[in-house]
Structure 1
Amino acid sequence: MTRELNVLGACPLDCPDTCSWVVTVRDGEAVGLRGNPGQPYTRGALCVKVNRYVEHTKAPDRILYPMRRVGPKGAGRFERITWDEALDEIAERLTAITGEFGGEAIWPYQGTGTLGYIQGETGQAGRRLWNALGASFHDLNICSRAGNTGLRLTNGSPGGMDPETFAQSRLILLWGTNTLTSGHHLWKFIQRARTDGAHVVAIDPIRTRTADQADEHLAIRPGTDAALALALLHVVLDEGAQDEEYLERHTHGWGDFEQEIRKYPPKVAAEITGIPEKDIRALGVRLAHTRPTGIRATMGLQRHRGGGTALRTIAAIPGVTGDWRHPGGGVAYSTSGHVPIQADTRLDLLPDGPVRSLTMTRLAEGLEDTADPVKCLWVYAANPMGSTSDQNRVRRGLLREDLFTVVMEQFPTDTVDYADIVLPATMQFEHADLHAGYGHMYLMWNEPAVPPPGECLSTTETFRRVARRLGLTDPSLYDSDLEIARQLLSGGHPSLAGITVERLRAEGWVRLSVPDPFVPFTDGFPTASGRLEFPGPGQAYVEPFTARAAGPYKLALITPASHTFLNTIFGNNPELARRAGGPKIAVNEKDAADRGLHDGQRVRVFNDNGELAAELEISDRVAPGVVMTPKGHWPKLSPGGTNANALVDERDADMGRGAVYHDNLVEIAPLPDPAKDEGATAPA
């Protein structure tokens, strides 16, 4: 007799929407997946990527058993071993490494493959074990750190608007964000606002899917966003529309910031940003006289040299206009700043106090350090060979024979190919987790729907077994998933009032205990002054690296999110890869003509870091001087064996050592035509 049930869960992926979903299970097998129609943000819809998640969990290349390397590093040749054999070898190698080099020689390289508080990045899964071993601290700065830091300087928190209140906005600035690809559930609230007369502006170097649907698109030069923000405020001042009462009662440093604004009239900003002066002035007038104005600014915006400053200055706009007074006014970046959950990583387990910090975006540099070498790289929920800057240097680091590399994974990624030991990891249907979206105000529970296939283990269970094999005795290393969840929710913060594990398991999702509509900072800002703090003299704009193309490379490279991949997740899914096609580089017609290039041509995109083989696409979606190729392709599945990160510098943004994926210069040249080459060399 067929037995069917529906299990409530949540999407684990690095997306602001963190959807609530329903898994249909028939006779112990997941057979269907849909968005939870009862959850106010998800409302029954998933994205084009996650719609194939059931298929993805059953893919023939799923890693199901522990493996040991048998070929050279990078070759991807392994033999199956037992869990006991894997744990014995891991324990032996870790014991030897810590004995000779100390615990800091271990780098636990965690990524955002899952954002769960139990299994993933937001809860720093595994950190208790690493602290007990004295391992280096992993500074997970790759995604949003520059922007977070800039927002903290202005607002005291990266938390801002409840995105649902965009339905009440009358002017919406989608600033450096492609909503319809990277968080499409927000669009229904934007559409509701448009029904009531809201005007929607997309500010983006690329004419994205979202820009196509906006009322207006401003094609800004990459990295010049702060200059535009200052110019818009210049017009607000010209119009006499600043909110003097709000400035007096709720802000700090207005006098100095006003002087900064006066340095950037629309004419000056037009030269910097590439946006016509009349368009800057027109938007400035609209901003001056439209309340509430809601600004959606997400992570792509801050991946350049001045990324932190850009968010810091954009966040100042509602301080001048007083938009923080209103539902639908302010800036929305990451609602994670409103989630009062702190993971207990047990810093007291550290054997000798604080340890060194190794920065995620500086992986190549860390692996090259010979004075204080990394001897064990333990990778989980990450694919640094596909996702990290300066790909060729990272590859050289992973090829080190003296580096013991363990990778916990679901699929044979490029990073897996460099592992010494591979451990099979569960997927979201197969383990418990607690989630909070960074684009909404809900907590969600993911209940295991089916047993893990093969010998896959969850992150938490893997680390429990490693701790046991190492003979570690602290009881916190063996806490169950439910115990961890209860600890996470036990902080006593008012926003968690009434939210328990039992309630979450029963209902699937619960809104944080905050007012609805939620208007942040009504009781002051969590800054030292208790007020919004404006940037000081010289702190409102940092010129991007790409602004000075004085050398041989003249084209600014943008590597936005793909519509079919999420970072490199789904890069091996046959249908999604088919829809994405091979790597393409979008080039403006003028730049193509200047280089004698034609549409559909095979080209090499290159700089001093490396090169990418791609198909040229002449497009008016990019302005002259800008080229674009979406991220997410697996290097080993791409022509030439690289993806766009082979072109990205391992450089720091201005704040938080953030990544600079959108602040690199490249050039483009033809690749040989294989058909012509074959014809030239074929025998008569």
Structure 2
Amino acid sequence: MKSKLKQLLAPKFTRRDFVKSSSALGSLAAVAGSMSLPFKSNPALAASEPASPQSEEKVVWSACTVNCGSRCPLRMHVADGEIKWVETDNTGDDTYGSHQIRACLRGRSMRRRVYNPDRLKYPMKRVGKRGEGKFKRITWEEAYDDIANSLNRIRKEYGSEAIYLNYGTGTLGGTVTKSWPPGGTLIARLMNLTGGYLNHYGDYSTAQIAAGLNYTYGGWANNNSFSDLENTKLIVQFGNNPAETRMSGGGLIHHLMESKARSNARMIMIDPRYTDTAGGREDQWIPIRPGTDAALVAAIAHVLITENMVDQPFLDTYCVGYDAKTLPASAPANSDYKSYILGQGEDGIEKTPQWASPITGIPVDIIVKLAREIGQAKPCAIFQGWGLQRTANGELASRAIAMLALLTGNVGINGGGTGARESDYNIPFVRFPIPENPVKTAISMFLWTDAIIRGPEMTATRDGVRGKDKLDVPIKFIWNYAGNCLVNQHSDINRTHEILQDDKACEMIVVIDNHMTSSAKYADIVLPDLTTSEQADFCMDGKAANMPYFIYADKAIEPQFESKGIYEICTELAKRLGVEQAFTEGRDQEGWLRHLYQLTREKDPSLPDFETVRKQGIVKRRDPNGHYVAYKAFREDPLNNPLSTPSGKIEIYSERLAEIAKEWELPEGDVIHPLPIYASTAEGWDDPARSQFPLQLTGFHYKSRCHSTYGNVDILKEAARQEMWINPMDADSRGIKNGDLIRIFNDRGEVHINAKVTPRMMPGVVALGEGAWYAPDGKKVDHGGCINVLTTQRPSPLAKGNPQHTNLVEVQLVQKA
């Protein structure tokens, strides 16, 4: 590790240094990111400053509220109005089941986010082209007036459907400050009081699985908690990597490994990359080509069926469409799942392991052995992560994996599961009230760029528009609060750049954030938001298996520079829009916190009072049932506890999907099907385009950041470098050695980044951690390692979601390009 990392571990940095880092900008136009890093030790500066007596240190409970699955408590040690250092939860006896909620290194580096050189310090207005990052300083009053005037003008000219709240997950779990779901935010409250806005459905994390398994289980599909794995015999994880995606204080990786140790269950990991969750903890790693999980499942199903390992009574009682006995009357003959597997369906192909092997890249004997293990283990827990559904056929893949739980009758029992991602027990909490949106129209969260350039052309049957047959107007105003999906986290950045450059198309973009992100550089108005450390809020919804908790994150320091919180921002805009009283209902931010907590305590009187919670910082519970078991009541009594599917049962064959498949207009190659079948896709393993771009590119959540949050903290970037993972065979054939600077490219863009040559990546597939900050050089080449320079904006068939793990690329040494 470089000496710089050692310097950063013990920085001599004060708030005065932080203030000085931006004083030269004044009211002049500023180019974002031009400030030097203020964390460097500067002995000369320190010696020139007069010594001041240290004030008494106080400890204030705060939190990290990023979108990692946890909400982690942070104990801020504050002196002289400055956060000196950060520790994490110190409550309880720290035995498993009442363990401490320990933040990871990201949360513990919160001080470096608060005092970051990229920190937004005052309102700014764009003076250059969008994306250049050139702004001038303006007053808050000027910013409020510009935004209010723009809202009023656009509503008058185009209607409320032209206003859009973009997806953002920079701050989650709060009551006042949360940015997700956008429809539950204070901006949504303000917009709904003044005419509404164009809504969206789905999200960048789970669009395809949410849509797909909705047709199987009805609504959001739950699974058993990881804590319940102490009751299982076999754990099979498809693309699930909690050691990196759930590494934080909620402790899901801790629950997984503690429960596995108690049950002594075998764990099989199916993933193109040997992940940190495997990392010596697994009993078997099975590499698989991206986008082919449904083919593997079909071959496993073939073994289970032909070797009589299916749970026929379960399938007959609880499911629709496994075989002819439970097939809906509207379905054609031989359109059941069993017929599809045995080659008696419409395609006439028997889904044997020999058929699946060349598709998946998995040897036949491994498929057969895996199938027999799943069929013979009683009970067996099947889980899937969200990465594999973030593909061009993700809806089919997510439904297919659930079939393994259904065929073996493992749903609704301890030690079993549903094939979805792990679920948790949570403490109910009353949320900020949001008035009904007068605008009933919604688009997929992934198609907002299309809605800018071809809004009135977008229809229900071609583009998934909901609430009406087509959009009437394009998007003209975008709110982007605590999110980086305007650019960095949205696919095909070069296409997005071209769309946003035209300020006659989308006429106003308002970004509210802590830092000058890639998205903020495309704003017309930038507003500096408070960090969690500078305001108070309740923080909940942490993924924590059977040990839920919530945090009271108090105000640790005063707002830095001219930053203001989302409640004050919306209140000031409400004044100008004539709805201040309706928006505030006469309460300030703390008044709302007290009010919402009082309503929560009325539903659960066992909770401590407000002042006690504020003092103790965190409230922990245990699941009174021991473990969360999904669909337990349905399994015990399906007649009195039906699912929310049309049949009230688990639908292997979906009549609704059969109708959609007939009615919707789909691009060539896209598939919607009533059964969870396997389908090839554009840019899949068998696409002819592999002759030009032979490598499949997939993404993964990287430990040094949460999506793009913390992506500008140098100490984390240095500890876990952004690199492209490539198998030694693929590297050798290209003359690439570990650490070499490479170019990753396709017809959408190019990225220059260092190579990580490792056998932890299967041949033919490369991987790049998502969330790295986009750093273009003006020639459409990114030097930050941002995967979305390479991803496509072609949506998935059913959810119209983001297929950001379905990409074809080529890789070369930069010097040989």
The partner residue of 2:769 within 623, 630, 643 is 630
Give the drift of 1:388: 0.6
- Which structure's relative contact order is higher, taking Cα pairs within 8 Å and 6+ residues apart? 1
The Cα of 1:670 is off from its aligned counterpart by: 3.5
> Which aligned pairs between 1:285-364 and structure 2 lie closer than 5 A?
285-330=372-417, 331-333=419-421, 335=423, 346-348=434-436, 350=438, 353-354=439-440, 356-364=441-449
Native 8 Å contact 1:201 1:215 kept in 2:
yes
Q: Structure 1-normalised TM-score?
A: 0.89
Aligned residue for 1:136? 198
- With 377-386 and 69-78 compared, the bigger mean Cα shift is at 69-78
Instruction: Name the amino acid aligned to 1:306.
Output: N
Counterparts of residues 464-483 of structure 1 (less than 5 Å)? 464-473=571-580, 475-476=582-583, 480-481=588-589
2:70 is matched with 17
- Maintained 8 Å contact 2:413/2:632: no
Q: 1:379 to 1:251 in 2, by over 3 A?
A: same
Structure 2 residue 215 is matched with structure 1 residue 215: no
Partners of 1:124 and 1:343 within 8 A in 2: no
Task: Indicate if the aligned counterparts of 1:292 and 1:328 stay in contact, CA closer than 8 A.
Answer: yes
Tell whether the 8 Å contact from 1:416 to 1:422 is kept in structure 2 after alignment: yes
Contiguous gaps of at least 5 residues in structure 1: 675-684
1:560 match: 700
Question: 1:641, CA displacement in angstroms?
Answer: 5.1
2:512 aligned with 1:444: no
Query: By how many angstroms is 1:477 displaced?
Result: 5.2
Alpha carbons 1:305, 1:542 under 8 Å: kept: no
Q: 2:337 aligns with which of 235, 257, 261?
A: 257
Equivalent position of 2:687 in the other structure: 549
Which stretch shows the higher mean deviation, 357-366 or 588-597?
Answer: 588-597
Which position in structure 2 is the counterpart of 1:155? 217
Q: CA deviation at 1:509?
A: 3.1
SS in 2 for 1:100: helix
Q: How far is the alpha carbon of 1:35 from its aligned partner? A: 3.6
Aligned amino acid, residue 423 of structure 1: L
Q: Deviations over 1:559-617 (max 9, x none)?
A: 11112121111111111122233x53222333334445454443322212111112233
Match of 1:187 in 2: 253
- 2 CA distance for matches of 1:86 and 1:577? 34
Alignment of 1:82-121 (within 5 A): 82-118=139-175, 119-120=177-178, 121=180
> How far apart are the structure 2 equivalents of 1:488 and 1:513?
23
Deviation at 1:125, TM superposition (A): 3.8
- Whether the 8 Å CA contact 2:226–2:256 is kept in 1: the answer is no
Q: Which moved more, 1:479-488 or 1:147-156?
A: 479-488
Q: CA offset at residue 136 of structure 1?
A: 1.6
Whether 1:415 aligns to 2:533 is no
* Alpha carbons 1:167, 1:191 under 8 Å: kept: no
Shift in CA distance, 414/593, structure 1 to aligned 2, threshold 3 Å:
same
Paired residues for 1:219-618 under 5 Å: 219-255=287-323, 256-262=336-342, 263-330=350-417, 331-333=419-421, 335=423, 346-348=434-436, 350=438, 353-354=439-440, 356-369=441-454, 372-383=473-484, 384-402=486-504, 403-431=507-535, 432-438=537-543, 440=545, 442-450=548-556, 451-473=558-580, 475-476=582-583, 480-481=588-589, 502=610, 505=614, 508-511=618-621, 515-524=625-634, 525-535=643-653, 538-545=675-682, 546-551=684-689, 552-581=692-721, 583-618=722-757
Which deviates more, 558-567 or 612-621? 612-621
TM-score normalised per structure 2: 0.75
799, 806, 809: which is aligned to 1:656? 799
Please give the alpha-carbon distance, in whole angstroms, between the structure 1 residues aligned to 2:528 and 2:609: 27
1:34 maps to 88
CA distance in 2, matches of 1:217, 1:20: 34
SS at structure 2 position matched to 1:300: coil
* Mapped pair 1:169 → 2:232: yes
What is the one-letter code of the residue matched to 1:648?
A: T
Amino acid corresponding to residue 494 of structure 2 in structure 1: N
1:237-264: per-residue Cα shift (whole Å, max 9, x none)?
Answer: 3443333333333333221233334342
Are the equivalent residues in 2 in contact too, given 1:376–1:405 (CA < 8 A)? yes
Q: Letter of the aligned partner of 1:585 in structure 2?
A: M
The structure-2 alpha-carbon separation of the partners of 1:22 and 1:326, relative to structure 1 and needing over 3 Å to count, comes to farther
Superposition deviation, residue 544 in structure 1: 3.7
Q: In the aligned structure 1, how far is the partner of 2:411 from the partner of 2:675?
A: 25
Q: Does 1:197 align with 2:197?
A: no
Judged with a 3 Å threshold, the aligned counterparts in structure 2 of structure 1 residues 299 and 67 are, in CA distance, closer, same or farther, namely: same
The answer (yes or no) to whether the contact 1:306–1:654 under 8 Å persists in 2 is yes
Higher mean C-alpha deviation, range 171-180 or range 4-13:
4-13
Comparing 550-559 with 184-193, which one deviates more in the overlay? 184-193
Deviation at 1:507, TM superposition (A): 6.3
Work out the CA distance in 1 between the residues paired with 2:427 and 2:797: 26
SS of alignment partner, residue 634 of structure 1:
coil
**Mean CA deviation greater in 9-18 or 33-42:** 33-42
Contact conserved, 1:14 with 1:113, CA < 8 A, in 2?
yes
Deviations 1:391-442 (A, max 9, x none): 0111112222332221101111111122221111112223313421246352
Distance 2:510 2:286 in 1: 46
Q: In the TM superposition, what whole-angstrom CA distance separates every residue of 1:310-332 from its partner, at most 9, and x where no partner exists?
A: 22222232222222343232045
Partner of 2:659: none
CA distance in structure 2 between the partners assigned to 1:526 and 1:569 by the alignment: 36
Change (3 A) 1:489 1:446: closer
Measured on the aligned residues, the alpha-carbon RMSD in Å equals: 3.1
Match of 1:681 in 2: none
Contact 2:64/2:110 (<8 A) preserved: no
Larger Rg: 2
Quote the Cα distance in structure 2 between the aligned partners of 1:316 and 1:209: 26
Q: Are 1:17 and 1:440, in contact at CA under 8 Å, matched by a contact in 2?
A: no
Instruction: Note if contact 2:545-2:628 (Cα within 8 Å) is conserved in structure 1.
Output: no
Q: Which amino acid aligns with 1:15?
A: C
Q: Which runs of 5+ in 2 are unaligned?
A: 1-53, 324-335, 343-349, 457-472, 635-642, 655-673
Farther off after superposition, 563-572 or 225-234:
225-234
1:49 aligns to what SS in structure 2? helix
SS at match of 1:146: helix
Partner deviation per Cα, 1:312-366 (whole Å, 9 max, x = no partner):
222232222222343232045263797877867645462xx52x32433224323
Q: Secondary structure at the match of 1:557?
A: strand
